[in-house]
Amino acid sequence: MVAVLSQDTATPWPGVDAQWRRTLSVPSTASVDAPGTLRQWHYLDNESDVAATGMEPAGTLLCVHGNPTWSYLWRTLLAGATSPAAIAGGGPWRVIAVDQLDMGFSERTGTFRRLPDRITDLSDFTAELGLTGPVVSVGHDWGGVISLGWALAHPSQLAAVVLTNTAVHPAGHALPPALKLALHPAVHQWGTTTTPAFLKVTHGLAQPALADDVAKAFMAPYRSVERRAGVGNFVADIPAAPGHPSWEALEGVAEGIRSLEVPALMMWGPKDPVFSDRYLNDLITRLPHADVHRFEGASHLVQEDRDIAAPTFEWLGRNVARRADGPDAGSGSTSDAAPDAGSYVPMLAEVDARRGDTGTAIVDMLPDGRTRELSWAQLAVDVDDLAAGLADLGVRAGHRVSLLVPPGINLTTLIYACLRLGAVIVVADAGLGTKGMSRAIKGARPDFLVGIERALAGARLYSWPGVKIAAEDFTPSTASARMALLGCAATVPQLMANGRVMRLAGHAASFTAPDADADAAVLFTSGSTGPAKGVVYTNRKLAAMRDTLKATYNLAAGTSLVAGFAPFALLGPALGATTVTPDMDVTAPRTLTASALAAAAAAIDATVVFASPAALVNVVATAAQLSAGQAKALAAVELVLSAGAPLGIPLLEKVQALAPNAALHTPYGMTEALPVTDIDLPGIRAAGAGNGVCVGRPVSGATVAIAPVAADGSVALQPSFDAGVTGEVLVRAPHVKARYDRLWVTEQHSISIPGWHRTGDVGHLDAGGRLWVEGRMEHILATPSGVRTPVAAEQAAEQLPSVARAAVVGVGPAGTQAAVAIVETVPAARRSGLAPFWLAAAVRAAVSAAGVDLPLSAVLVIDTMPTDVRHNSKIDRAALSRWAARMLAGDKAGRP
C-alpha cells in the first residue's frame, strides 16, 4: 500500500516537494529474507505533478541511486519532468526515485544485501507498485548496475537506459585507489560506518562544492552509526575479482547489456576519481549505439555539478516519446544534399596514383639546415609497410590512434597508414597545454598512442590511454630500458620494417578500403572558447574538405605547399601537393621566422604558403633577417593563405611586400568546417570599414546564413539571408563535421537549426552576400540599450597608433552590462590598470568617430592580452571580463 508521508508545502531538503514523498510496503523475494517478509521502501514520486498537467505520462523514469547517496540525488529530474520543455518534447514524464533498502529513508533490514538481492529488491518494488511500461531505467554509481539488472529482467517494459558515472565491470583494471582504501580491513568499518568519512569524501567530490543545505540533505538519512550500516555493506559487496559472491551477478549484467537494443544515454563527469573515463569506454563497447556526453570539469556527482535534467528530457523526446510530428528534424545533416557516392574520392587516391612517381612528395626542414626528402613512390610504399606493421601489432579498422608527432614525413606516413587501415586518427596538439591535452586524449580514449619521447613521458605521467608506440627508434644501448620505462610495445621504424619484411617475403598485406562514412579522424578544437572539443570527420567529410580547398584555391596536383599550419600536414599529400613544414614549433606559431619560411619555400620552389596570423606577425617582425636569395624564394610564391583570426590591412600589406607576386587570402573557418568563406586583400580594401570583420563570400559548396539574435540575447531558430541582420552565423557544406565526439548535448545544440551547423560566431551578411564576423555569441554585450557586439569598437580602437590590440568586454549582469575597453599599447604598458586620461579619451573618440553605438564605461590598459595557447592570436575575452570586473572593483591583484 502506498502511503504519502507528508502534505506539507515544504521539506527540510531544498529542491524536494513534500508531495513527492512516498512509502510502500513490499513483499520480499530476496534470498536473504524469509518468505513473506515485508520491507518498507521510501521513494520520491512526481505522480501528482503529472496529474496536475491533465496529460498522460509518456513513460516512467525509474531512478536508482548508488552509495552513499539516496533518492535526493534525482530531484532535478523529478522537478523537470513536467516542465514546458519536457512536455514540448513529448512529456510529461513520471519519475520514481527509490531509496534502496538499508539506504536513504528506507527500512534498515539488518541483513547483508548483495548485488543479486538488490536487483531482486528493485523488481519486488516495481511489481508491488504495479509499474508498467514504457520504463526508462536511470542509474548512478552502483545503482547503475542495479538499474541495468532490472532492465535485463524486464525487457517488455524497458524503453531506454540512462546512465551516469557508473561501471558494470572492472574493465581489465584494478579497483580505483579510493575504493581499495574503503575496502581495506583497517579502514572499512571506521571509514564507512563508525564515522561519516565515506559520505563526506563522496560529497566533497562535487565540482563546485555543494551548498551547505544540500550537503546536509545528502547526510540526512545517515546521521547515526546504525543508519550507516548499509553504506558499509554496499562497499563490502563491491565485486573486485572472480570468486567474490557478487561477481557472477556483475558478470551477468555486464555481458547481458550487450543485447540491449533500446536507446541509451550516458552522461559523465570525467573528473570522477572512482568511475573514470575508462569505465565509460567499457560501457561504450557494450552499448556501442549509446549517445554520450562528457561534462568537462564535472566529477562523480555529475547530477550536482551540471544540469542533467534538460538534456535528459530533450534526449527522451528525440528517442523515446511518441511524437505526433514524426521523426525529429533537428538531427538532419548540415550538408547541402545527401552524399553522392559517385563523387567520393578517397583521401589516399592521389598517393596511390603516384606509385611510380619519383618526384618529391614531402620535405622535412632539419634544424641544421639540411633537408630530408621522400618521393611519392617511396611514400606509397612506406604507407603500406607501416599499415602492415600496425595491423600486425593489432591496429584494426575503427581503432583510435592518437598521434603526438610533429608535422613532417613521419606524421604524414602515420596519418596515411591509419587511413589505409580504416583506423581513426586522434589529433590533440601540444598547443592545448598539458591539462588540455590530458582532457582531450582521455576523452577520445585512443586504443593506440604514437608519440615522440617527450609525449610518451607525458603519457606515462598522466596515464593517457592506449598501447604506446614510439615515433622513433631509441639508441641501441638504451633501447630496451627506454622502451620498458615508457611502456612502449614497438617503435614506428620497427613496425615499418616488419611490414617491409612481410612484403619482400611475398606476404604483402591486402587492405580493404574503409567505408566512406566510417569515422576517419577526431580533430580537437583550439580550446579558446572552453575545453577543447573533439570534432569527428568521416572519410567522406575529410575528402570533401580536401575537394573544397582544391576547388576554392585551384590547388592542382603539382602545387608546392609550405604548411605552417598543422592541418595541412594531413591535406597536402591528398591534394597532390609537394609539402614542406618550416623549421618551427607548429604548436607555437610565433616561432616561425621570415628566414625559416623562406628556407622552406626555397626547398620546394613553393607556390603556396599557409600560415596562421600569429606566425605571419613574427615573419613580418623578422623580415630584416632575409638574405637576397630568401627574398627571391618568397617573391616566387603565388598564394598566401592565413586563417585562425582576422588579419588587418596593415599586416597584410607588410606580408604583401614580402611576397609581392602572391594573392593574399584570409579564409574564415573553424575546426568544424574549414574553410567557410574567403576574401583576398583587394576584397578587404573594397569592403572598407563596417560593423565587424569582413571575411568574404562562401567558398565552393558552402552556404552561409544568419540566425537573428533578439534584444534579450535569444536566437531565432530560423535562418535568414537578409542583409544587415545580426545573429549567429550558420553554415552548411559537404565538409562540415560529422559530429562532436562524446558531446551529445553540444552536438544537439550545434544542429538545433535543421540542416545547419551553428558556429557560435555572431555576424551579419551585407548586400553583396559577404559575411561580417562581429565576435562570438558569448562575447555579445547585453547592455541596457540592447545587444551589442564588440568587434567594430575593437577595430576602431586599433586604428590608434598607440594601440596594438583591443578587446571590448561586458562587465556586470546580463541586461545591465557596462562596456569596458581593454587595450594593449605600443610600447607595452609597464603596469596594467586604468588607462591614462589621454588614451581613454582617444579610444572613446575613435569608437564614436567610427559610428559605433557602444558607449565605453571604462578603458583599461594591459601589458599583454591573454590568448589561447594554440593560436596565440585569439584573445581570451572571458578572462578579460573577469579581470576587468576585479580591477574596477578595486582589486588590483593578479592577471587575467
Identify the DSSP state of 668. E
Amino acid at 663: A
Question: Hey, which residues does 467 pair with through a beta bridge?
Answer: 448
Segment 48-52 long-range contacts (CB within 8 Å, at least 24 positions apart):
48/19, 48/20, 49/17, 49/19, 49/20, 49/78, 49/81, 49/82, 49/92, 50/81, 50/82, 50/92, 50/93, 50/94, 52/82
Closest CA to 446 of 432, 427, 460, 433: 427
Q: Are strands 2-4 and 400-404 parallel, antiparallel or unpaired?
A: unpaired
CA distance 771 to 389: 48
**Domains annotated on the chain, with CATH:** 2-319 (3.40.50.1820), 347-515 (3.40.50.12780), 780-896 (3.30.300.30)
736, 541 Cβ separation under 8 angstroms: yes
- Which tens digits make up the pLDDT trace of 744-761? 999 999 999 999 999 999
Cβ neighbours of 751 (radius 10 Å): 20
Cβ neighbours of 210 (radius 10 Å): 18
Task: Determine the average pLDDT of the residues in 357-373.
Answer: 92
Among all chains, which residue has been given the C-alpha cell 622535412? 364
pLDDT at 153: 98
| Run of H or E residues at 786 | strand 786-788
The interaxial angle of helices 613-621 and 594-604, nearest 10 deg, is 100
Query: How many Cα neighbours within 13 Å face the side chain of 401?
Result: 32
- Taking only Cα atoms into account, the Rg of the chain, rounded to an integer number of angstroms, comes to 30
- Which tens digits make up the pLDDT trace of 821-867? 999 999 988 889 999 999 999 999 999 998 888 999 999 999 988 87
pLDDT at 183: 67
CA distance 840 to 521: 48
pLDDT at 331: 47
153, 123 Cβ separation under 8 angstroms: yes
Whole-model pTM: value is 0.91
Range with the poorest average pLDDT among 387-391, 550-554, 876-880: 876-880
User: Quick one: three-class SS letters along 380-396?
Assistant: HHHHHHHHHHHHHHCCC
For residues 338 and 238, the model is more confident at 238
Closest CA to 121 of 221, 36, 31: 31
Range with the poorest average pLDDT among 330-344, 494-508, 623-637, 678-692: 330-344
What would the grid cell of residue 552 be? 576554392
Query: How many Cα neighbours within 13 Å face the side chain of 111?
Result: 18
Dihedral pair phi/psi, residue 503, rounded to 5°: -65, -45
Task: Determine the average pLDDT of the residues in 300-306.
Answer: 98
Mean residue pLDDT of the chain comes to 91
What percentage of the chain has pLDDT greater than the value 70?
93
Task: Determine the average pLDDT of the residues in 802-810.
Answer: 93
CA distance 350 to 380: 10
Task: Determine the average pLDDT of the residues in 808-813.
Answer: 92
**Which residues, 6 or more positions from 45, have their beta carbon under 8 angstroms from its beta carbon?**
20, 22, 94, 95, 96, 97
Dihedral pair phi/psi, residue 459, rounded to 5°: -60, -40
What beta strand segments (E) does 168-319 contain? 264-268, 291-294
Task: Determine the average pLDDT of the residues in 871-896.
Answer: 78
Task: Determine the average pLDDT of the residues in 536-555.
Answer: 95
User: Quick one: three-class SS letters along 483-497?
Assistant: HHHHCEEEEHHHHHH
Residues 169-200 as b or e (16 or more Cβ within 10 Å = b): bbbeeebbebbeebbeeeebeebbbeebebbe
pLDDT at 585: 78
Question: Has residue 157 got a pLDDT over 80?
Answer: yes
The pLDDT confidence band at residue 325, using thresholds 50, 70 and 90, is very low
Question: Has residue 332 got a pLDDT over 80?
Answer: no
The pLDDT confidence band at residue 342, using thresholds 50, 70 and 90, is low
The pLDDT confidence band at residue 2, using thresholds 50, 70 and 90, is low
The whole-angstrom distance between residue 618's C-alpha and the CA centroid of its chain comes to 30
649, 685 Cβ separation under 8 angstroms: yes
CA distance 402 to 385: 19
Q: Is 453 exposed, middle or buried (0-12, 13-18, 19+ CB in 10 A)?
A: middle
Question: Has residue 79 got a pLDDT over 90?
Answer: yes
Q: What is the DSSP string of 180-206?
A: HHHHSTTTHHIIIIISSHHHHHHHTT-
Query: How many Cα neighbours within 13 Å face the side chain of 170?
Result: 17
Distances (CA, A) of 306 to 58, 77, 312, 746, 848: 25, 12, 12, 14, 42
End-to-end CA distance of the chain: 60
Question: Has residue 213 got a pLDDT over 60?
Answer: yes
pLDDT at 424: 98
The pLDDT confidence band at residue 869, using thresholds 50, 70 and 90, is very low
Task: Determine the average pLDDT of the residues in 420-436.
Answer: 90
**Which residues, 6 or more positions from 638, have their beta carbon under 8 angstroms from its beta carbon?**
607, 608, 661, 662, 663
The whole-angstrom distance between residue 740's C-alpha and the CA centroid of its chain comes to 7
Residues 113-123 as b or e (16 or more Cβ within 10 Å = b): bbbbbbbbbbb
| Run of H or E residues at 92 | none
What would the grid cell of residue 225 be? 552509526
Range with the poorest average pLDDT among 235-244, 420-429, 452-461: 235-244
Is the dihedral angle over the CA atoms 566, 567, 569, 575 positive or is it negative? negative
Q: Is 452 exposed, middle or buried (0-12, 13-18, 19+ CB in 10 A)?
A: middle
Question: Has residue 612 got a pLDDT over 50?
Answer: yes
Report the length, in residues, of the chain: 896
pLDDT at 340: 52
For residues 265 and 568, the model is more confident at 265
- Which tens digits make up the pLDDT trace of 246-282? 999 999 999 999 999 999 999 999 999 989 898 999 9
For residues 430 and 344, the model is more confident at 344
Closest CA to 561 of 368, 683, 412, 698: 412
Distances (CA, A) of 44 to 3, 63, 72, 84, 214: 11, 10, 8, 21, 17
Cβ neighbours of 8 (radius 10 Å): 11
Identify the DSSP state of 692. S
Among all chains, which residue has been given the C-alpha cell 576584397? 683
pLDDT at 519: 98
